[in-house]
Amino acid sequence: MDAFTFTPGTTPLIVGMPHAGFGLPDSIAATMTPEALLQMDSGWHEERLYDFARGLGAAAIASTYSRYVIDLNRSPDNENRFAGKGNTGLCPVERFDYAPLYRDGLAPDSAEIERRLALYWRPYHDRLAEELQSLKSRFGVAVLFDAHTIRSEVGRLFAGRVPDLNLKSGGGTKGSPELVQRLAAICAGDPRYTWVVDGQYKGGYIVHHYGDPANGIHSLQLEAVQATFMDETTLAYVPEKAEDIRRILKALLGEIIEWAATQGRRRG
């Protein structure tokens, strides 16, 4: 199984889903606890939630392996520079609720981490970097929309309930402030959902690493709370619940594409 799936697009936008995968190689699964195999911290139903993106002309890249194998939104040197003190690591050894992921004595050592970097982390990032440069060359501008989902309560990371829509731009340094303002207006347009821009967390490794607005590459991260589209107890996707939040997500991507087209013409 490849480390990612990729779908080309026809616009300056690429949607990234670094936590969409659930693949667990047998050799790794054999070292894990029963709690780990539940994959509770994964990006549940992300590809289904954003399956409209292709119709908008966005490219898409999605992980195929679990974030428990290796977290694609963490620095390859495992330094936690951006997201927050409660983060799990590059090859996490515990869930967000602190339950251990590995049976005693079987957590990955440095050699195993390097093996996973080569097999799973670098192929995804090499392809993402290549596509961003290709979009920049073709359109004069490129936008990465890093799509995430999160449980409504994650005590390790947030106090209380997580806002339904968490838009992150590296504190306004990794994506156009004008674009962020336009997206925030869309989030604010439906009073049923709570939202925040660059709140407690201002984005993970991917947003900070790839965003370079001065050179025409903008990166944004959005975390959508899973309770807005699924049952967090059974983990089942709920289409009638998802319909409303998908309208907002589609409006966000459409706004990005419209904004990027204008920027590309200006640069041209």
SS (H, E, C) 102-137: ECCCCCCCHHHHHHHHHHHHHHHHHHHHHHHHHHHH
The answer on pLDDT for 22 being more than 80 is: yes
Say how far apart CA 136 and CA 71 lie, in whole Å.
26
Average per-residue pLDDT in the chain?
93
One-character DSSP codes across 22-40: -B--HHHHTTB-HHHHT-T
Contact between 58 and 14 under an 8 Å Cβ cutoff? The reply is yes
Secondary structure of residue 95 in the 3-state scheme: coil
Token digits for 90?
């590059």
Q: What is the pLDDT of residues 229-249, one digit of tens each?
A: 999 999 999 999 999 999 999
pLDDT at 155: 65
Q: What is the pLDDT of residues 47-96, one digit of tens each?
A: 999 999 999 999 999 999 999 999 999 999 988 765 555 678 899 999 99
Sheet of strand 142-150: strand arrangement: 4-7, 59-63, 13-17, 142-150, 217-225, 165-168, 195-197
Mean pLDDT of the region 259-268: 74
- Domain extent, residue 116, equals 4-267
Which residues have CB under 8 Å from 165's CB, separation 6+?
187, 193, 194, 195, 196, 222, 223, 224, 225, 248
CA torsion angle 211 220 259 135 (round to 10): 50
- Give the Å distances, CA to CA, from 234 to 33, 44, 87, 153: 20, 11, 25, 15
- The total number of structural domains in the chain stands at 1
The answer on pLDDT for 200 being more than 80 is: no
Mean pLDDT of the region 211-226: 97
The answer on pLDDT for 260 being more than 80 is: yes
CA nearest neighbour of 196 among 208, 210, 183, 177: 183
CATH code at 233? 3.40.630.40
Which residues share a beta bridge with 153? 161
Q: If pLDDT is split at 50, 70 and 90, which confidence band does 156 have?
A: confident
CA nearest neighbour of 255 among 111, 58, 107: 58
Mean pLDDT of the region 123-132: 98
Pairing of strands 195-197, 59-63: unpaired
Please give the model's pTM, rounded to 2 decimal places.
0.95
% helix / strand / coil in the chain, to the nearest 5? 35, 20, 45
Weakest-pLDDT range from 24-28, 34-38, 79-83: 79-83
Q: Phi and psi of 95, rounded to 5°?
A: -75, 175
Q: If pLDDT is split at 50, 70 and 90, which confidence band does 266 have?
A: low
Angle of helix 177-187 relative to helix 239-267, nearest 10 degrees?
Answer: 160
Contact between 8 and 255 under an 8 Å Cβ cutoff? The reply is no
pLDDT at 267: 55
Say how far apart CA 18 and CA 207 lie, in whole Å.
12
